[in-house]
Structure formats: C-alpha cells, structure tokens
C-alpha cells in the first residue's frame, strides 16, 4: 500500500519492508508507469558496492511526473512561482504548461546535440526554468548536474570538468534580495577551461549586460520557441543515470553523487507522500534551492510524482523583511512548509513582530531539514508558526541517500523535539562503535549506519567508484556509513547529533574542512591552515580558520580580507570563514598529524581537557593559540 494513514499501518509496512523487502517494494513500484516491467526487484552487495533496483525495467521519470497526471490534472497547478520582488511577475504553471515547457526545452537540448547518457550542467537561479531544465534532461535521458548559483567560477569549472558536461543551462543574472548577481559572467569565466562544453543556453532573467560568444552561446527563449511542444519520452533502463550532484566530504574535492532513475523515482515519491501526508488541494512549499539535494527530491521530483501543487520561491527569507516567508504562507494558503533550522533561528532572532501580521491558519504540517534542529528552535517553530497545531517532521537524510530516511510521518508518528524519530519503511538503521560492533538496545549512542539498501541509495561517485566504496562502504563491512553520530532513546527514537568526520554544516550547507583549507592555502602568504567548525547561534556551525602566515603581508586586517576573497574565489561565499586566527604553528603530533580536537575546543572557547599536549611536536603553540583566540 502506497499511502500510510495511521501508526499501525506504518508498523505493518515497516515489518514487511524488513521481512520481505522485494515483495514490499514491488508493490510500491506498481503505482508507477513503466514502459517495460522490471523482472527482478533488487540485486545488491555493499562490498563493491553494486546496487540495482527494479532490474530490466524501462521508464521515463518525467512521464511519471507529468504525462501520467494530464488526463485528470491538465489544468491543475503543478507549481506557483513567487519572484524575489514581492511585486514581480507571479506565474502559475499548470501540469499542461509544465508538459509543454519541458517538451520544448527537451527538443531544444536535442537540437544542440545532447543525447541520452550525456551530462548537462544547470547553473540557474530559483526560477521555473530550473525545474524545466532538470525535467528536460530527464525527458531525453541526459543526466543533469545542477550547480548551486552561489558557487564560484572555479567551483563551477571543477564540476563541469569532472563529469564532462556537454551543455550549460544558465541565466544572465539572478535576483537575490536587494542584490543582482551575475551568472553568465561566472559561466564565461569557468568555460575558459572547460573543453567538453559545446553550447550554452542563456535565459534572460535580469536583463543585465552580458556577452554572448558566437557559435557557443544561444538565447534560451529564441531557441525554445522554435521547438515543438511535444517530445516523446526517451525510455531508459531503471539503473540509467538520472543526475549527478556534487557534495563535500572529509577529504579532497567534492564528489559527484550519482543517482539512477527507477529507484530514485519510487523512493522520493513514496517518502514525499508519507512523510508530509500531502493530500489533494494542499499547497506544499519547500524553501530549499534546487542546487541542493532537498531541491531535487522535494521541490522537483517528489511533489511532481505525486501530482502535487507546490510553490517555487526565488527570494530569500529576509527580503524585503523577515516576514517574507509568513507573508507568502498567508498569500498562497500554504499547508505544508519545509525549511531549514538555520532559517528558523534567523527568523526567530528577528522577532515576533514579523510573524504577527500574517494569518498562518492554513498550515497543517511543518518540516525541518539540513542539520540538527535544537530544542529551542523546535519550540519556537511549533508555538509561533504551527500554533501548537502542526506536526513537525524533522527529516534526516543526505545527498547520498536521495530521500528522507529517518523522520516522523506527519500526524502519525508522535514527535519529540530534536528527534528525527523512526526510520521509514525500507530503512534499517544500525548504530556501531568505532570498531564496527553493533550497539544494541536502547538509550545508546554510536555511528549511524544503514544495513540494507533502499531504492534511492547512491550508486557511485561519478568517475571514481573506488572513492564511493572507500567513503561509504569500507568503514564497516557490509554497512553503508552515513558519517553522522546518532543517539537512540528509550523508545527506539533516533536523534542525529551531527557529523563525526571533517565535514561541517554551515546553515545546512555541507562544507569539507579540507576544501576550505586548500582554498585558503592558495593565498601566497599562507603556507598551511586548519579549519574547524564551532557552535554558531544562527548558522548551526560557523567556520574557524587557523592560518600559518609566512609570506609578507601589509597588515592583519588586509590579509584577513584577502583570505576571505580567496575562499570566495575558489569555492564561493558560503565557505567564507567566520573567524580567522593567524598563528605561528599548529598543534601537531610527532608524525605531523594536526590535533583538530584541540583546535575545535579552542574555537568553542573551551580550554578544559585539552589532553596531554606534552607529546606534541611543539607544545608551546597551544598556549599561543589559546591566547590569540578570536
């Protein structure tokens, strides 16, 4: 049964999903349109890893997102578009219009030479075209690689080259609050060094001045309007790549997480329906950006697969003021609202005067995603937004998991502040100690692993399968390792406590400390740096950088400014350190390993239990670091 409507149905579904996973998922998969039925539900081993779902099945995910709904929902709204400027042009996109826009863009991609199996980079603001772009790729079997609009030219270039994209879909610029951000100029800078790119399609959003390179750059509207509004779906194998999405890990450059078609479709649709309990005529709004996995699974695919009506928002929570979210909820009668704890904390800090003017009585379900939600933010959200009347779904998942794995089902699972509560059907969590021994029983804590595949699990990291194995499947034999620490309470409820690796979570954005360090080290005056996370009231975690300076520099203030510029250039503004401390040395063991534990404690302003520092290569650096804390 696709839709779970009460707790005993959840228990029944969960039990079956563990005891007879193939029977369970076969039935869920039968709710979709397959061009050719699958012959086997699952093949897997976590050692290679090799994971295949709905084997031999052929399908097109956009047929399931759009065509399938047309007979009953032609004129129903797929999504409303709310622009950055509250008085800008609002658009309502019906399922019929969505069909036509996606078909035209799909034909346009074909005309530029894109074929099934190719990769297409999408670098766009949060406008309807971003959704059309993802679906147009999927329509013709090309894999999309969406790059968040806040990433720099350098970061964009690395991502385009890693998966050898053929085409970039972008816009002239983007509106963001009271700012106008260049997009095309950033693409131009990236493409100086991207040999695989053949064409660039440029959508005019801001009408700012741009240059078009003859033979390469095309005007979006001109090209799209030449195309027929019908495009037969390309049927692909269930395991055909659907998209690549780059995400940060504890070492080196970002990894291209690869998701495939059939399993991702089944799981995002199933999890959307059951976690949010979305019903006909509800208005769902997820405030994420399509540049992150939340935008992929719960703005584009999950809602559309369910024939839902949702909202696509171009702007930011605090423009023109901190009441923007609540004003939108009031205007559209939003019933389901899904956002990140960092936004909740920022809006809480702005004060209730920004909430009071608006009628929020349409709300039925609230969601949280991206990082642990602290109890205080949970209560503020529950009291002031939900008016003690809306279940909060604290949804834990990752880019690699494709969909929500641990979460309450709205109105069905009893919630507990700061707990993601229970696994969805098909998800088998396991806590292990550092040696990989299972931690059994309740009231325990350990590293969170999953012991059985679910349909939307990562298949590989693009171009480097060994890295996928190393990162997720090699820490513990036969387990998928999440990188998160986790508690299980007396009732078996899960609470994710945060990363146990060198990944920090800044405003719900995953940032690898190694990535920031290598960006900082690009500055000529810096030889070495160490980056750690520390507790930040609004962002959840802030970035603290210790930098060893050897080169010449004018003065401390200028140098720090230059370091920030270097990081912005190499990664993007989201990775800028909140605090920079210039140091003469870093605490290292005799073997040269940086003692990050000490650096984390100093960043937290906690000088207790720094441990035995006498064995360090140079114990005096610890005193220097403590004194110089910023």
Which residue number, 247 or 566, has a Cβ lying nearer to ligand 7RM?
247
Using rule CB under 6 A, residue 475 touches ligand 7RM = no
Q: Alpha helix (H) ranges present in 323-476? A: 324-332, 341-350, 375-380, 465-468
Which residue number, 412 or 458, has a Cβ lying nearer to ligand 7RM?
458
Beta strands in 331-418 (DSSP E): 336-339, 365-369, 392-395
Using rule CB under 6 A, residue 294 touches ligand 7RM = yes
User: Per-residue contact track with ligand 7RM, 424 to 463, x per CB under 6 A?
Assistant: ----------------------------------------
Which residue number, 151 or 396, has a Cβ lying nearer to ligand 7RM?
396
Q: Which residues of 401-413 are buried (b: 16+ CB within 10 A; e: fewer)?
A: bbbbbbbbbbbbb
Using rule CB under 6 A, residue 369 touches ligand 7RM = yes
Using rule CB under 6 A, residue 499 touches ligand 7RM = yes
CA distance 30 to 414: 30
Using rule CB under 6 A, residue 344 touches ligand 7RM = no
Taking alpha carbons only, the member of 120, 218, 106, 105 closest to residue 165 is 120
Taking alpha carbons only, the member of 18, 20, 9, 58 closest to residue 37 is 58
From residue 353, alpha-carbon distances to 315, 326, 350 in Å are 20, 11, 8
CA distance 135 to 141: 10
Which residue number, 163 or 248, has a Cβ lying nearer to ligand 7RM?
248
Using rule CB under 6 A, residue 513 touches ligand 7RM = no
Q: Could you tell me the smallest distance in angstroms from the CB atom of residue 420 to ligand 7RM?
A: 5
* From candidates 49, 173, 483, 533, binder to ligand 7RM by CB under 6 A: 483
Using rule CB under 6 A, residue 396 touches ligand 7RM = yes
* From candidates 397, 452, 462, 472, binder to ligand 7RM by CB under 6 A: 397
Size of the site for ligand 7RM (CB under 6 A): 25
Q: Could you tell me the smallest distance in angstroms from the CB atom of residue 286 to ligand 7RM?
A: 11
Furthest-apart CA atoms within the chain: distance in Å: 74
Using rule CB under 6 A, residue 510 touches ligand 7RM = yes
Written in H, E and C, the secondary structure of 149-214 is: CCECHHHHHHHHHHCCCCEEEEECEEEECCEEEECHHHHHHHHCCCCCCCEEEEECCCCCCCCCCC
The dihedral built from the CA positions of residue 60, 62, 64 and 66, taken in this order, carries a sign that is negative
From residue 326, alpha-carbon distances to 329, 373, 384, 391 in Å are 5, 20, 11, 17
Q: Which of residues 591-630 bind ligand 7RM (CB under 6 A)?
A: none
Using rule CB under 6 A, residue 272 touches ligand 7RM = no
Q: How far is CA 144 from the centre of its chain?
A: 14
* From candidates 100, 484, 501, 517, binder to ligand 7RM by CB under 6 A: 484
Rg (CA), the chain: 24
CA distance 567 to 576: 6
The dihedral built from the CA positions of residue 274, 275, 277 and 282, taken in this order, carries a sign that is negative
Using rule CB under 6 A, residue 371 touches ligand 7RM = yes
E strand or H helix that includes residue 305: helix 302-305
Q: Could you tell me the smallest distance in angstroms from the CB atom of residue 431 to ligand 7RM?
A: 15
CA distance 98 to 78: 7
Cβ-based neighbours of 113, under 8 Å, separated by 6 or more: 166, 167, 198, 199
* From candidates 238, 287, 460, 505, binder to ligand 7RM by CB under 6 A: 505
* From candidates 84, 238, 247, 541, binder to ligand 7RM by CB under 6 A: 247
Using rule CB under 6 A, residue 293 touches ligand 7RM = yes
Using rule CB under 6 A, residue 370 touches ligand 7RM = yes
Taking alpha carbons only, the member of 459, 507, 532, 94 closest to residue 287 is 507
Using rule CB under 6 A, residue 399 touches ligand 7RM = yes
Which residue number, 482 or 581, has a Cβ lying nearer to ligand 7RM?
482
Contact range with ligand 7RM by CB under 6 A, out of 27-35, 356-364, 396-404, 548-556: 396-404
Which residue number, 543 or 586, has a Cβ lying nearer to ligand 7RM?
543
Using rule CB under 6 A, residue 398 touches ligand 7RM = yes
* From candidates 394, 502, 515, 517, binder to ligand 7RM by CB under 6 A: 394
Using rule CB under 6 A, residue 502 touches ligand 7RM = no
Using rule CB under 6 A, residue 300 touches ligand 7RM = no
Q: Alpha helix (H) ranges present in 351-473? A: 375-380, 465-468
Using rule CB under 6 A, residue 271 touches ligand 7RM = no
CA distance 26 to 38: 9
The site for ligand 7RM (CB under 6 A) is made up of 247, 292-294, 368-372, 394-399, 420, 482-484, 496, 498-499, 505, 508, 510
């Amino acid at each position: 049964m696709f839709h779970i409507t009460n707790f005993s149905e959840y228990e029944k579904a969960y039990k079956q999903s563990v005891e007879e996973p193939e029977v369970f998922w076969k039935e869920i998969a039968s709710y979709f349109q397959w061009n050719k039925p699958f012959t086997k539900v699952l093949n897997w081993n976590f050692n290679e890893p090799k994971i295949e779902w709905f084997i031999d099945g052929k399908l097109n995910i956009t047929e399931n997102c759009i065509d399938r709904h047309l007979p009953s929902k032609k004129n129903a709204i797929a999504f409303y578009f709310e622009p950055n400027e509250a008085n800008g042009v609002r658009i309502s996109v019906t399922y019929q219009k969505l069909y036509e826009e996606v078909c035209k863009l799909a034909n346009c991609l074909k005309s530029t030479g894109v074929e099934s199996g190719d990769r297409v980079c999408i670098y766009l603001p949060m406008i309807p075209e971003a959704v059309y772009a993802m679906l147009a790729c999927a329509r013709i079997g090309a894999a999309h690689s969406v790059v968040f609009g806040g990433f720099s030219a350098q970061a964009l270039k690395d991502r385009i080259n890693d998966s050898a994209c053929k085409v970039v879909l972008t816009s002239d610029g983007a509106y963001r609050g009271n700012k106008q951000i260049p997009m095309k100029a950033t693409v131009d800078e990236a493409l100086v060094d991207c040999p695989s790119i053949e064409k660039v399609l440029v959508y005019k959003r801001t009408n700012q001045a741009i240059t078009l390179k003859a033979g390469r750059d095309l005007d979006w509207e001109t090209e799209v309007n030449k195309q027929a509004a019908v495009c037969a779906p390309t049927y692909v194998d269930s395991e055909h790549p659907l998209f690549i999405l780059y995400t940060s890990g504890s070492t080196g450059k970002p990894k291209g997480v690869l998701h495939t078609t059939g399993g991702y479709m089944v799981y995002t649709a199933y999890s959307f329906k059951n976690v949010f309990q979305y019903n006909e005529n509800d208005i769902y709004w997820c405030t994420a950006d399509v540049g992150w996995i939340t935008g992929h699974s719960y703005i584009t695919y999950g809602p559309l697969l369910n024939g839902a009506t949702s909202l696509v928002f171009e702007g930011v929570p605090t423009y023109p003021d901190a009441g923007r979210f609540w004003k939108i909820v009031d205007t559209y009668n939003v019933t389901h609202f899904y956002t990140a704890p960092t936004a909740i904390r920022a809006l809480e800090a702005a004060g209730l005067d920004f909430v009071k003017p608006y009628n929020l009585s349409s709300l039925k379900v609230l969601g949280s995603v991206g990082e642990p939600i602290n109890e205080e933010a949970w209560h503020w959200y529950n009291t002031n937004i939900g008016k003690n009347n809306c279940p909060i779904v604290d949804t834990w998942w990752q880019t690699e998991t494709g969909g929500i794995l641990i979460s309450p089902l709205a109105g069905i699972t009893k919630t507990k502040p700061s707990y993601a509560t229970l696994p969805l059907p098909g998800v088998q969590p396991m806590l292990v100690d550092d040696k990989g021994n299972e931690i059994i029983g309740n009231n325990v804590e350990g590293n969170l692993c999953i012991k059985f595949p679910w349909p939307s699990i990562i298949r590989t990291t693009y171009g480097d399968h060994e890295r996928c194995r190393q990162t997720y499947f090699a820490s513990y034999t036969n387990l998928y390792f999440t990188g998160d620490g986790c508690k299980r309470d007396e009732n078996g409820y899960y609470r994710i406590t945060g990363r146990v690796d060198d990944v920090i979570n800044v405003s719900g954005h995953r940032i690898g400390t190694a990535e920031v360090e290598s960006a900082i080290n690009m500055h000529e005056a810096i030889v070495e740096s160490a980056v750690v996370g520390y507790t930040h009231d609004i962002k959840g975690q802030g970035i603290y950088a210790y930098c060893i300076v050897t080169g010449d520099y004018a003065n401390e203030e200028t140098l720090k400014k230059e370091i920030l510029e270097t990081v912005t250039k190499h990664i993007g503004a989201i990775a800028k350190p909140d605090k920079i401390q210039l140091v003469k040395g870093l605490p290292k063991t005799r073997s040269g390993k940086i003692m990050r534990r000490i650096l984390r404690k100093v960043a937290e302003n906690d000088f207790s239990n720094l441990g035995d520092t006498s064995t360090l290569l140079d114990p005096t650096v610890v005193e220097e670091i403590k004194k110089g804390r910023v």
